[in-house]
Amino acid sequence: MVDLKNEPQSAIDAHGIIGDMRSAALINDKGSIDFFCWPEFDSPSIFCSLLDSPAAGIFQLTPDLPGARREQIYLPNTNVLQTRWLSEEAVVEITDLLSISDDIDDLPLLIRRVRVISGKATLHLRCAVRHDYARAPTRATADNADVCFSAPDQPGLRLASSHALTIEDDAAVAHFSLEQDQGAEFVLGGLEDSRVESCGTDLRLERTLKFWRGWLAQSNYRGRWREMVNRSALALKLLTSRKHGAILAAATFGLPETPGGERNWDYRYTWIRDASFTVYAFMRLGFVQESNDYMRWLRGRVSDCCGQPMKINILYAIDGRQELPETELKHLSGHGGAQPVRIGNGAWDQVQLDIFGELMDAVYLVNKYGEAISYEGWKHAVEVVDQVCETWNQKDVGIWEMRGESHHFLHSRLMCWVALDRAIRLASKRSLPAPFARWDQTRQAIYEDIWSNFWNAERGHFVQHIGSTNLDGSMLLMPLVRFVAATDSRWLSTLEAIQKNLVRDGMVYRYRNDDNQIDGLQGIEGAFTACSFWYVECLARAGQVEKAHLEFEQLLRYANPLGLYAEEFDSQARHLGNTPQALSHLALISAATFLDRKLSGEKTVWQP
């Protein structure tokens, strides 16, 4: 019999994700939901065995088929997940979804449907809700045929089942057998949610499939990597708030960037930095509405500064909350023993000057391909750019949110230049009032500063920060943001140095400094997925198209079986860090669209 209580942790890349654009759940290839925050993306978890053991909450549903082959697939062009078991005795499939409702304020509704395709199978269910990151004592009680879960000061949940449930150790438990073509249904939702019923999920499944397929049909990508680009687009949409328009950095918290190490962060928030990447990816695929919605969310963050000294946070909660204090969950053992497990993110009040560039790049792109900027919007943009003029030559912690000393980072200078460049371009094209002389003078000063202070003639490449001789993966953005020509001799020598020092089998490290003084943390992290895709695009733009093609195909093989990417890779291309990572998929889309045009011999007509 299957031992549900002692199920070992699954690898990070052994998971699919389902979501309703309000919350998301991770399901491993053993049929267990081992991560689910409810009712919001950044609410406390109710299932968190991914970061501990089944005692931290889990929803297990599995057939008793030892030795069966397991696989996971998405129903085509959707975020509806199927987990399948194939054995001599039976073929069993479980279909999981978070139902898409007409009302964006409806609480998430988790639907699990199991069906025996061939043969006969005995199935085991154990739903152990554990409120508040498994910190609150959760009690399971029977309510007629349903099981209700409650904890002090926490939202209650109800589980409805088409098969009889019992309660063991404050978990709902069931054991039942199904013949060929027989099925069972399980629905988990709010305690008072009238939609929590043990039957009639066909219509909800049909509506959810229709939503995802209808949304994806708007994509204009017809290139050779359509399946991977579509999966990336679906992952990004799943991580987008249907109500607010913002997009999460990732669905999870606490998953380690170093196995067994301390580099474990909460990414269930929205980073201003990802703005231009998000807008570019959605716009490039034809999803104009998502780009416009995201920019409205961004404008709301900038407008919060109106009448006060300009202060834009690095990241925000998806509903716009600014303060996200970092807390350690010391009762959780962590994924693979990686501690501490953190919620909240201490980077929220760091100084990172590059965010102004990403913000203005996004404003520029949306004005070029989406909604024109408003009067109030331009006033806020002017405030942002004026702030850049005042602060561009200050130290900060950089794009990688270093927790060591502040420095004059190249990437921060680069993106300050982008902020001014895009603002001048936008004002000129739209005939908007602006202090052109001051902005252009500052733009030129930053340009000269980068070439004078960040180019190391002896090493023959740009450097990470003033006083350093190290390389940095963020340099790969220099030609992508049009600061330097992709075929410039100095850039090509920098690209060659990156290849020699930061690239391993197509996987690119953010930095590989000799000690941990640069970021103040112990251990060496994995290769950064987004940097790896930026590297592909840089190769293609430099005319090394065949090499870019090969590297891209290798990176595609490093996706998990469902086409999803976490934040980083270990030395064997296994996934590290939070997952799925939006920036990874944004970079994939950018690389795929550009490389496809180069391989097809098309002229590049869509440019940021």
pLDDT value at position 519? 65
Q: Which amino acid is at 552?
A: F
Q: Is the pLDDT of residue 516 over 70?
A: no
Q: Is the pLDDT of residue 267 over 50?
A: yes
Sign of CA dihedral 357, 359, 365, 371: negative
DSSP state letters, 537-583:
HHHHHTT-HHHHHHHHHHHHHTS-TTS---SEE-TTS-EESSSSBHH
Write b or e for each residue in 66-82: b if 16 or more Cβ atoms lie within 10 A of its Cβ, otherwise e: eebebebebbebbbbbb
Cβ atoms 176, 124 nearer than 8 A: no
- CA torsion angle for 52, 36, 228, 568 (degrees, to 10)? -40
Q: Is 146 helix (H, G, I), strand (E, B) or coil?
A: strand
Helix axes 226-238, 202-216, angle to 10 degrees: 120
Residue with tokens 């269910």: 125
Q: Is the pLDDT of residue 517 over 60?
A: no
Percent of the chain clearing pLDDT 90 (strictly above): 87
Q: Is the pLDDT of residue 275 over 90?
A: no
Residue with tokens 């913000």: 359
Residue with tokens 């988790």: 110
Ramachandran angles phi, psi of 397, nearest 5°: -100, -5
Task: Tell how far CA 417 is from the center of its chain.
Answer: 27
Residue with tokens 């309000």: 22
DSSP state letters, 36-99:
EE-SSTTSPEEE-GGGS-GGG-EEEEEE--TT-EEEEEEPTTSS-EEEEEE-SSEEEEEEEEEP
Q: Is the pLDDT of residue 608 over 60?
A: no
- CATH fold of 15-214 reads Beta-galactosidase; Chain A, domain 5 (2.70.98)
pLDDT value at position 298? 87
Sign of CA dihedral 531, 533, 539, 540: negative
Residue with tokens 């088929």: 65
* Token reading at 123: 């199935």
Average pLDDT over residues 17-22: 98
Model confidence pLDDT, tens digit, residues 462-487? 999 999 999 999 999 999 999 999 99
Q: Is the pLDDT of residue 370 over 50?
A: yes
Of 196, 128, 130, the closest CA to residue 161 belongs to 196
Cβ atoms 279, 291 nearer than 8 A: yes
Q: Which amino acid is at 139?
A: R
Cβ atoms 69, 140 nearer than 8 A: no
Cβ atoms 130, 147 nearer than 8 A: no
Confidence of residue 605 (pLDDT cuts 50, 70, 90): very low
Q: Is 130 helix (H, G, I), strand (E, B) or coil?
A: coil
Options 1.10.357.10, 3.30.365.10, 1.50.10.10, 1.10.10.10; which CATH number does 218-600 get? 1.50.10.10
Q: Is the pLDDT of residue 447 over 90?
A: yes
Model confidence pLDDT, tens digit, residues 72-115? 999 999 999 999 999 999 999 999 999 999 999 999 999 999 99
pLDDT value at position 514? 55
Ramachandran angles phi, psi of 425, nearest 5°: -60, -45
Within 8 A by CB and 6+ apart from 531, the residues are 473, 474, 476, 502, 508, 509, 510, 587
Q: Is the pLDDT of residue 515 over 50?
A: no
Q: Which pTM value belongs to this model?
A: 0.95
Determine which of 193-202, 323-332, 552-561, 583-592 has the lowest per-residue pLDDT on average: 193-202
Q: Is the pLDDT of residue 435 over 50?
A: yes
The domains of the chain are located at: 15-214, 218-600
Q: Which amino acid is at 290?
A: E
Q: Is the pLDDT of residue 606 over 50?
A: no
Q: Is the pLDDT of residue 34 over 90?
A: yes
pLDDT value at position 108? 98
Residue with tokens 């909460």: 266
> Nearest 5°: CA angle at 250, between 69 and 207?
65
pLDDT value at position 486? 98
pLDDT value at position 405? 84
The residues pairing with 240 across neighbouring beta strands, listed in sequence order, are 247
The C-alpha atoms of residue 225 and residue 553 are separated, in whole angstroms, by 10
pLDDT value at position 537? 98
Cβ atoms 373, 381 nearer than 8 A: yes
The C-alpha atoms of residue 450 and residue 6 are separated, in whole angstroms, by 56
Q: Which amino acid is at 561?
A: P
Of 283, 311, 282, 317, the closest CA to residue 297 belongs to 317
